[in-house]
Amino acid sequence: MKQRSAGKPDIEMGKRIRLRRVEQKISQADLGEQLGVSFQQVQKYEKGVNRVGAARLQQIATALDVPVTFFYDGDGKTREVESLLFLDSAFSLRLLRAYSRIKSQTVQRQMVVLMEAIADEDK
């Protein structure tokens, strides 16, 4: 029987794996060590090059401290994560963490207005 190649659902799942791994501040090498695979294999999972089997997904969920359902929508499809892709860089995470430390809602709103104005000018 021919094995199905990785596709869009695998890519979406890989994005969720990467986002959670980065959020947890775990390197690909460290996750690979926990899973008993190389960092290159983790990279392939995250890019959707290789499919993640059910048993491996359970291991990944355990290592990243989330339920397996984290990687799926309620209907069993992988979650679309395009809106979260900005979290894929260390700088974006720094920006978000700094923003979340601002106590004043007024200052938070002002920061959003400022960032939107800068983004509009930078088009």
Buried b / exposed e over 66-97, threshold 16 CB at 10 Å, is: beeeebbeeeeebbebeeeeebeeeeebeeee
Q: What is the tens place of the pLDDT at every residue in 15-29?
A: 889 989 988 889 999
pLDDT the model gives residue 8: 82
Residue ranges of domains in the chain: 1-80, 89-123
DSSP state of 50: S
Residue carrying structure tokens 């869009």: 8
Confidence grade of residue 1 (pLDDT, cut at 50, 70, 90): very low
Confidence grade of residue 83 (pLDDT, cut at 50, 70, 90): low
Q: How large is the average pLDDT for residues 23-47?
A: 95
pLDDT the model gives residue 73: 65
Does the pLDDT at position 4 exceed 80?
Answer: no
The percentage of the chain sitting over the pLDDT mark of 70, rounded to a whole number, equals: 81
Nearest to 78 by CA among 12, 15, 5, 4: 12
How high is the mean pLDDT of the chain?
A: 84
Measure the N-to-C terminal CA separation of the chain; round to a whole number of Å.
Answer: 50
Confidence grade of residue 7 (pLDDT, cut at 50, 70, 90): confident
Q: Which of the four CATH numbers 3.60.130.10, 3.30.920.30, 1.10.260.40, 3.90.600.10 does domain 1-80 have?
A: 1.10.260.40
Confidence grade of residue 5 (pLDDT, cut at 50, 70, 90): low
